[in-house]
């Protein structure tokens, strides 16, 4: 079995968005319940999270943004925008979420674990350099990617974002850089409104932002084929040194905030597809960090399927060959848009 690290912390549960909010602490409890019920809690390595430093947060965020989130500490409820709120410990939780991501990265780099799953809250991929957004305070995956390039000296980091929502924050933070390639498959048009195929990056980063905007109703085979026909050739050419996955479980077929149709078995196949790519190009260095996913039963079963793959308890077959999918026209269009930058 592979050595798989998980990151958990009481602060990820204590962060509270208020009654009725879909991004609830119960999301973490559902995954913990799964880990205990399946006894996978005994098979994973517990990675000790830490707080990200101000210097680490400001690798991607402005000092003003850091101070704005810090100013919420100790306050019962602060509304940062219509759907992004904080409680007294949200700042602490956000530091621990970004720091937990870094701790997972360090554990993979050191060889303590082969792969990792930071089970963090609050999520991160909507947070812009200068503002919180979409339930997100600090951009965990962006902090992790910047830590790899700016602190650890890597030159090619790949961020794969399969959340149902486009990761506007991650895209904008890295859109002018070739050191971080951002690949997103997401429902479109949809919140937050970004992520059109024509958004390819700017300056030195042109071609290093790859957006695959998907119609609602797409499921396992569409994602598998997109990853096979678009993502895999890009990975072959980019040759990332580390892969970070923004794993949003809101592409689950019954998620209240999304319109995709991915099954639990689909999550297993996507996980195996990506770990195979990591094994091929970067000695298996990959972490999957929690973003969205708001159906608690869906989160339970989907993370179970993902972890069974990460632990190598099972190996799902994902090759669908030339099977027709609802994404075929989209795939051809994406290949045209990105043909100036990549060979397909």
Q: Which positions are catalytic?
A: 126
Contact 175/209 with Cβ under 8 angstroms? yes
Q: What is the Cα–Cα distance from 121 to 140, expressed in whole angstroms?
A: 9
Cis ω on the peptide bond leading into residue 192 (within 30° of 0)? yes
φ/ψ (deg, to 5) at 293: 130, 105
φ/ψ (deg, to 5) at 20: 80, -5
Which three-class secondary structure state does DSSP give residue 121? coil
What would the DSSP string read from start to end of 278-330?
Answer: HHHHSTT-EEEEE-----HHHHHHHHHHHHHHHTTS-------TT---TTHHH
CA geometry: angle 47, 49, 53, nearest 5 deg: 145
Q: What is the Cα–Cα distance from 61 to 48, expressed in whole angstroms?
A: 24
């Amino acid at each position: 079995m592979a050595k798989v690290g998980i990151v958990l912390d009481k602060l990820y549960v204590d962060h509270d968005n208020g009654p009725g909010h879909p991004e609830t602490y119960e999301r973490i409890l559902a995954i913990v319940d799964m880990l205990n019920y399946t006894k996978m809690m005994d098979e994973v390595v517990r990675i000790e999270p830490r707080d990200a430093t101000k210097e680490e947060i400001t690798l991607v965020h402005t000092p003003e943004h850091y101070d704005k989130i810090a100013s919420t500490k100790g306050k019962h409820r602060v509304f940062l925008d219509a759907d992004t709120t904080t409680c007294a410990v949200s700042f602490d939780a956000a530091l621990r979420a970004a720091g937990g991501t870094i701790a997972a990265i360090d554990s993979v780099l050191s060889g303590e674990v082969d792969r990792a799953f930071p089970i963090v809250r609050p999520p991160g991929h909507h947070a812009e350099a200068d503002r919180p957004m979409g339930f997100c305070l600090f951009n965990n995956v962006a902090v992790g990617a910047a830590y790899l390039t700016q602190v650890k000296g890597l030159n090619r980091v790949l961020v794969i974002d399969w959340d149902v929502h486009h990761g506007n924050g991650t895209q904008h933070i890295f859109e002018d850089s070739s050191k971080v390639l951002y690949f997103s498959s997401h429902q479109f048009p949809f919140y937050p409104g970004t992520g059109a195929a024509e958004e390819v990056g700017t300056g030195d980063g042109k071609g290093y932002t790859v957006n695959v905007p998907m119609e609602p109703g797409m499921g396992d085979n569409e994602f598998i084929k997109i990853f096979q026909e678009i993502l895999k050739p890009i990975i072959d050419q980019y040759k990332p040194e580390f892969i970070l996955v923004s794993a949003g479980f809101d592409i689950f077929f019954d998620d209240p905030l999304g319109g995709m149709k991915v099954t639990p078995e689909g999550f297993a196949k996507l996980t195996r597809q990506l770990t195979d790519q990591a094994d091929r190009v970067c000695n298996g260095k990959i972490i999957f960090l929690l973003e969205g996913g708001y159906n608690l039963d869906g989160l339970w079963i989907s993370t179970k399927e993902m972890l069974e793959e990460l632990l190598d308890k099972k190996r799902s077959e994902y090759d669908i060959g030339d099977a027709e999918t609802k994404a075929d026209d989209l795939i051809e269009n994406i290949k045209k848009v990105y043909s100036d930058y990549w060979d397909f």
